[in-house]
Structure 1
Amino acid sequence: MDGFAIGYGVLYILGIIICFYLVFPMMLFLCWKLSVNPTKPVNPGSNQRDYGIILTAYEQVDFVADAVRSLLDMDYVNFRIYVVADNCKPSEALIFTDDRIEVLFPESILASNTASHFYAIEHFTRQHETILIMDSDNLAHPQLINELNRYFELGFRAVQGLRSAKNLETTIACLDAARDIYYHFYDGRVIFDLGSSATLAGSGMAFDSQLYVSMLKDIDIKGAGFDKVLQARLIASGERIAFAQHAIVYDQKTSAPKQLISQRSRWITTWFKYFKFGFSILYQGIAHTNLNQFIFGTVLLRPPLFIFLSLAVLLMVISIFTSQVLAIVILFSLIIYVISFLIPVLSKTTDKKIRKALVFIPKFMFYQFVSLARSIVSDKSNVATRHSLKKNSR
């Protein structure tokens, strides 16, 4: 009898946690709609912050020239670009005539984002006030730095821009873009406007140089996940990460199953490795009544979408035979979640290709499960995603 009671208790606890995270986005959305004082950017003024732009490339340099060109075409002049070509051979793609560009070839393979960043910092030709981190497959909007500066003028020392898809040639790329729209809306714009911090996306983000160095100088982060460690340390130290929705970086979306599985395996491994930070940050938020830390800690503890959605469906099916009330609650929570997901994804600004691709979400989730299996049985998921220059079929 006690065994049954324990089983029911575990079932209900899991149900409560899952239902909470299913309705959490809608709770945030409703609070956001009712809020009257979101943080508003200011004009950047005449302060031309000196930017050291770190552009990292690992093994693949196909996109570097375009990325650099987009940075040079920005409506901004006070910057210098440092291309860290890790495990890359010298090639024509890495030859530039503009004297604002430094191409760096590490003596040994770094295979680490933070190692590449600090390698660039050690080779700065001058002390830059601000660091902007970009991936080699990114393209910068002409107003990128001007928009970032709006938030530095407000006193923020860490700012995340918006990563928008630059390629929508396949269904997978469109669904990858839909995911980004969802996360940028709730984990960026909404929670930032509510007084918390935007989650970091790995690129298109800028920091006060001294702050960035102080946050990561004493830790060696291997593989992926430096942004998870960085954001946790920033929030724990009392910093707030701003979200600059008009500071746009165009990001190469995964367009083929093999790329998706490789990338998601790395991301899943990273979440399981670093989600623990959410507990301490949530505790800090409760103990110090700090809204920034409370909301951010709650967000960090949320599992990857496909995992908790699948758990919700599985638990609902089990509950049909054990607790019909719980099954009904989970069902309504799932409906609320679907509505909250569609709110940003079906907005007027979303490309029609992305909307049409939504019917293939089950296929996308299948690849996520393959990624989960790979992350469990393999230790090779912490490598950079290789993007193809060619269009891929569905």
Structure 2
Amino acid sequence: MDFLESTASVILYVIGAYLLFNCCYLLFFSLVSHKKAKPLVELLPIDRRICVLIPAYRENEVILETSKAAVNHAYSGDFDVYVIADGLHPETIQQLKTIGVGVLEVFFEKSTKGKALAAALEALPENAYDVVAILDVDNIMGRGFLQEVNKAFSAGYKVVQAHRTAKNMDSSFALLDACNEEINNTIYRKGHYAIGMSSALIGSGMAFDFRYFRKLLTGIGETVGEDKELDFRIVKDQEKICYLNDVFVYDEKIENAKVFTQQRTRWIAAQIEFLKKYAFEGLVQLFRNGNYEFFNKVVQAFLVPRILLIGVLGYFFLASLVLPVGPSPKFWAILLVMLSAALFIALPARFYRNKQLWKAIVQLPYALFCMVKALFQIKKAKTSFLSTPHTAKAVSNEI
């Protein structure tokens, strides 16, 4: 019995140490996000030629709204908008051409965003553009997006991530999803960039040097997390990713549990995929090449998804009240306080003025259930393209 208790105690302490690291990581970057990042200094202030790419997978209604907004975006230089049409209706394609949008049709047995972007880059003339900006099918560029992206390239960056934020918060789930994205922005983008590290990419609202992006997409394959693959490739090249916290791209948020589960299934599958793929290389990059940015990306893949982390810590706290082994209830309570502090500090102040915030927080147990459900569906993400369905939404006035 003593042996079993000792073994169980060791296992619980190891788990406790791992979860403590999770909380410390989140709290640290949440706190340093309040450090002001250095302003951009333009070295070559010219208007670059920009192409805006919008991959559209069977989203006939939304792509028309997004494209109309994109072609009317104000930019002092030249830019073109292209829709990468994957499964769009012929009449939708004709309407897009009518409003001045270029259409690049793609056909895949198994569709992925990465393959669609790679095919589009191959179809475009190599020297026609200097910068490529990527939007999701539901994204609306905020005022000055292309102008500020151009300034970042004038400052010498090859990769830029803008601040993607919610354009709708009209349901509790949508508001919860909006909060989650803003916490991600604070910790993985604003916090990292504030101390001189690379921002994480988020899949849209991002821009790349045109020729460099061609190189990055080479052999992108059928990964369900093309943005994470790009993240690893960029930090391996030791290129810095600029984060524009005050430059917005508006994004539709999840409104129901079914779509939330589907999206999280894809995200968890991508996290596991890259942890397996790059865990060993992360150590090699750190100790052989001194590439701490690459190692940091591996660490991020090693972290427990936050909603799951809340549930796991809550479970161990309750279990510690009856178990005679392992860390005390006080230890687990401290971890819960650290995590809560990290999340509350990371959430922008404007969300606390939203009267619906507490209704969204009440949805957390259901969101936790959806995350657990997503864990058992990750094989599905490897065999099919789990696209997130969208509807045409106006930009919210609440943010």
Normalising by structure 2, report the TM-score.
Answer: 0.88
Determine whether 1:383 maps to 2:382.
no
Question: Following TM superposition, by how much is the alpha carbon of 1:295 offset from its aligned partner in structure 2, in angstroms?
Answer: 3.7
* 1:354-369 correspondence to structure 2 within 5 Å: 355-356=357-358, 357-369=360-372
Q: Which residue of 2 aligns with 1:74?
A: 73
Aligned length: 388
Q: Distance in 1 between matches of 2:328 and 2:151?
A: 47
Q: Distance in 1 between matches of 2:181 and 2:236?
A: 25
Q: Report the more deviating stretch, 8-17 or 285-294.
A: 285-294
* 1:104-123 correspondence to structure 2 within 5 Å: 104-109=104-109, 111-123=111-123
8 Å Cα contact 1:148/1:206 also seen in 2: yes
Rate the CA distance shift 1:32–1:89 in 2: closer, same or farther, 3 A. closer
Determine whether 1:371 maps to 2:380.
no
Q: Distance in 1 between matches of 2:101 and 2:380?
A: 41
Question: Following TM superposition, by how much is the alpha carbon of 1:380 offset from its aligned partner in structure 2, in angstroms?
Answer: 5.7
Q: Which has the higher contact order (CA 8 A, sep 6+)?
A: 2
Question: Following TM superposition, by how much is the alpha carbon of 1:353 offset from its aligned partner in structure 2, in angstroms?
Answer: 5.1
8 Å Cα contact 1:58/1:88 also seen in 2: yes
Q: Per-residue CA shift, 1:300-344, capped at 9, x if unaligned?
A: 321211223322223333334134744312211111211221123
Q: Which residue of 2 aligns with 1:58?
A: 57
Q: Percent of aligned pairs with the same residue?
A: 22
Q: Distance in 1 between matches of 2:311 and 2:180?
A: 16
8 Å Cα contact 2:16/2:327 also seen in 1: no
8 Å Cα contact 2:84/2:103 also seen in 1: yes
* 1:147-296 correspondence to structure 2 within 5 Å: 147-222=148-223, 224-276=224-276, 277=278, 280-281=281-282, 284-285=285-286, 287-296=288-297
Normalising by structure 1, report the TM-score.
Answer: 0.89
Q: Per-residue CA shift, 1:133-185, capped at 9, x if unaligned?
A: 11111111131111222322222211111111111111111100010010001
SS in 2 for 1:243: strand
Rate the CA distance shift 1:290–1:255 in 2: closer, same or farther, 3 A. same
Q: Which residue of 2 aligns with 1:317?
A: 318
Q: Which residue of 1 aligns with 2:306?
A: 305
8 Å Cα contact 2:165/2:249 also seen in 1: yes
Rate the CA distance shift 1:115–1:351 in 2: closer, same or farther, 3 A. farther
8 Å Cα contact 1:44/1:150 also seen in 2: no
8 Å Cα contact 1:197/1:296 also seen in 2: no
SS in 2 for 1:160: strand
SS in 1 for 2:164: strand
8 Å Cα contact 1:52/1:128 also seen in 2: yes
8 Å Cα contact 2:43/2:156 also seen in 1: no
Question: Following TM superposition, by how much is the alpha carbon of 1:12 offset from its aligned partner in structure 2, in angstroms?
Answer: 0.9
SS in 2 for 1:254: coil
Stretches of structure 1 that go unaligned for 5 or more consecutive residues are none
- Alignment equivalent of 1:347, drawn from 346, 349, 352: 349
Rate the CA distance shift 1:376–1:41 in 2: closer, same or farther, 3 A. same
Q: Report the more deviating stretch, 240-249 or 20-29.
A: 20-29
Q: Distance in 2 between matches of 1:97 and 1:387?
A: 22
Task: Give me the CA root mean square deviation.
Answer: 2.7
Rate the CA distance shift 1:353–1:371 in 2: closer, same or farther, 3 A. farther
Task: Give the aligned residue type for 1:160.
Answer: Q
